[in-house]
Amino acid sequence: MSLFGKVKSTIGLLKNIDLDQLAKINEQIDLSEAMAALGNLDERQLKGLMKMLKTKRRKGQHDLPPIDGDFYNLDLKLNEEQRELQLKVRNFMEDEVRPLINDHWNRAKFPFEVIEGFKKLNIVGVPYEGYGCPNLPFLMEGIIAQEIARVDVSISTFFGVHSGLAMGSIYLCGSEEQKQEWLPKMQRLEKIGAFGLTEPNVGSGVAGGLETTCKFDGENWVINGQKKWIGNATFADVVIIWARDEDSNQVKGFLVRKENPGFKAEKMKDKMALRIVQNALITLTDCKVPESDRLQNANSFKDTANVLRMTRAGVAWQAVGCSRGAYESALKYTKKREQFGRPIASYQLIQNHLVEMISNLTSMQTLCFRLSELQDQDLLTDEHASLAKVYCSMRMRDVVSRAREVMGGNGILLEYDVARFVADAEAIYSYEGTKEINTLIVGRAITGYSAFVS
């Protein structure tokens, strides 16, 4: 177009522009940035934008509030750096993980490609000091657990087992040499860890005695027994194995490497929950472990309990994330799904379910926020962690059930995500201490009487 043509076209354009309206728009957005952004759109994108702008609202239609499970704005309690990290994790989970998660869940496969993304986020070993770890507050470990579980509980479990249980065992119970050998590599996800405590016949009763035994033969520790439900164990480089010393009857911890003779990990199949998590049945047959791979500061079950106490808060946060993911998915659905000519979100019975869900979710969030504050102040007790785990896992069950309810038949389809949250919630409800065990821990604390069967 010639210069004269451009000038004529510009004059014609100006005649059709309401300068007062333009001034009002300029008060809300940077017009120069808007023009630059529009200039970068291709023809298809411009047509889509114009179609959206020309679409007329139906009678009674209005701007709808955003879908956000943080009803009490707890994110405002985070500082700028913490909030930035939270959003980085959220964006990674939304952009890189969500598109592939249902397919992998359905096939019970682990998406190993996500590990590279976690490396870039640098969020492994969040609360630990040294060894390349971020050394951030425990609160951020909880926030990260929530953000990961908000998209997928299985990936959150993988992360919690590796970063929490496995690395935490080494961090709390390992010698300095063991920490230097393992923690930096695990922080960079160059080595993957697992945690072997639960057994085929021993779950809630681990404090009363493990069937897996260990005995020092003068040169090595010889371990015999089985472990069950061990997440990450099919591909882990090291598994923390807890065993009862035949001589002292005390629990000891070991760094069992995947190449150790006598170590065998078999994938558990046909699970209805956490299908992405690669749980294994581990069999240890005269498995020899050198003294240098015995956790030097793990000499009784009290040391094991210290690890569980530290990580149980993260499981409560997982329940929050699972609930938030289910709630937000359900809310989004009810705003789009129409029956009798109206979005179902406009009906009283649906709103009742949604309000019950956000009430449960908000109470869980505030409880966990305070729990992490206690942990950061070194005031966390067993009963604090147990109360959070038992309460949040119960409320989570109610939230996911209502999410499935408002979605009707579509609630059982993977494509809407809620079915996956419903199934995975059952695993959270059971692991890291059942409702009954955690209830008795809290009951003992508030009454002074132990109701455990001895």
> Is residue 38's pLDDT more than 80?
no
Q: Percent of the chain beyond pLDDT 90?
A: 76
Say what the pLDDT of residue 51 is: 64
pLDDT band at 21 (very low <50, low <70, confident <90, very high): confident
Mean pLDDT, the chain, whole residue set: 90
> Is residue 362's pLDDT more than 80?
yes
Q: How many CB atoms lie within 10 A of CB 131?
A: 18
Q: Percent of the chain beyond pLDDT 70?
A: 89
Say what the pLDDT of residue 139 is: 96
Say what the pLDDT of residue 221 is: 96
Question: Of 62-66, 86-90, 383-387, where does mean pLDDT reach its minimum?
Answer: 62-66
Query: What SS3 state is found at 338?
Result: strand
**Alpha-carbon span 317 to 447, nearest angstrom:** 27
pLDDT tens for 125-145 read 999 999 999 999 999 999 999
Q: Is 31 or 330 the better-scoring residue by pLDDT? A: 330
Query: What is the average pLDDT across 171-199?
Result: 96
Question: Of 39-43, 53-57, 261-265, 404-408, where does mean pLDDT reach its minimum?
Answer: 53-57
> Is residue 434's pLDDT more than 70?
yes
Query: What is the average pLDDT across 430-450?
Result: 90
> Is residue 1's pLDDT more than 80?
no
> Is residue 59's pLDDT more than 60?
no
> Is residue 8's pLDDT more than 90?
no
pLDDT tens for 100-131 read 999 999 999 999 999 999 999 999 999 999 99
Say what the pLDDT of residue 359 is: 98
Query: What SS3 state is found at 236?
Result: coil
- Amino acid present at 53: L
Residues 6+ apart with CB under 8 A from 239: 166, 193, 194, 195, 196, 227, 230, 233, 256, 258, 263, 265, 282
